[in-house]
A = this chain, B = another copy of it.
């Protein structure tokens, strides 16, 4: 297994099973620190630079919280408008990153443009974490999700993942890449204009990984061990929603996970959602035995503690 020290976390494509397992082991070691709510000094000597070209609360704050929990330092920007990349200079990623590398010891970047963190990694000597690049990938989120599965269900192997939502989204790419490394099945449910691309399916087929596609959450809910959700509602849907009045449901029924639908689910099945949510996951589901998205949020901090410790060389 390649060492994690100094390594970029850009994609889960090519991330190997032994690497997932190692990351989960280190996470198990660090988890009691988060649970104990007591900052330690494992990363006191290190500074994380946050470069968020798009707004983010969860992903940005989970990385920051992880650094603080380990006694580390954080600086950066959370809005491209505050940078020279966002004003009339339109500074290149190369120039920005050449500067940022002197401000800290690792860089976490979110960018609206697919591949931007990869470009950043080319021009800097410090490790780069992809915190979401357009339609590309979101590796730290999916590592969080799989670790949540590992903790809550004891294993990833042998499980069926029912993925509901926009299949072009970065988390869907990352989870499919990840599941190729496990003995797991993936079923996808998406609106026709948001379904898996042929290119992506072909790429996965090369790894002998096939995704089954169904039309309605009802058709597969009984098989699911993990119900993995993303919204299908986008900004322009919302406009018409406001025109029609607040209470009108906007997500078509076949992409919603409701208490009623969950009547057909396995008792042990769990729901993950990286949040925020629209109406695809009604709040009254929170009280069911299936909800695990708050745990997922918690493990989001644990996973970032783990990844930062690994790439900064504080953990082997």
Contact = CB atoms under 8 A, between A and B. Distances in A.
Contact of A102 (B81, B104, B276, B301): B301
A184 interface: no
A40 B46 CA distance: 9
Contacts of A278: 89
A210 to B, nearest CB: 33
Given A39-B46, A47-B68, A75-B65, A276 B84 contact: yes
B76 A82 contact: no
Contacts of A91: 275-277
Q: How many chain copies does the complex carry?
A: 3
Interface size class of A (residues with CB under 8 A): 35 or more
Interface stretch (A53-61, A186-194, A258-266): A53-61
A148 to B, nearest CB: 12
A235 interface: yes
Interface of A: 34, 37-40, 44-47, 49, 55, 57-58, 61-62, 64-65, 68-69, 71, 73-79, 81-84, 87-89, 91-92, 94-96, 98-100, 102-105, 235, 238, 275-278, 283, 294, 297-298, 300-301
B297 A99 contact: yes
B102 A34 contact: yes
Contacts of A98: 294, 297
Interface centre among A62, A68, A277 (most CB of B within 10 A): A68
A108 to B, nearest CB: 13
A61 B75 contact: yes
A294 B124 CA distance: 11
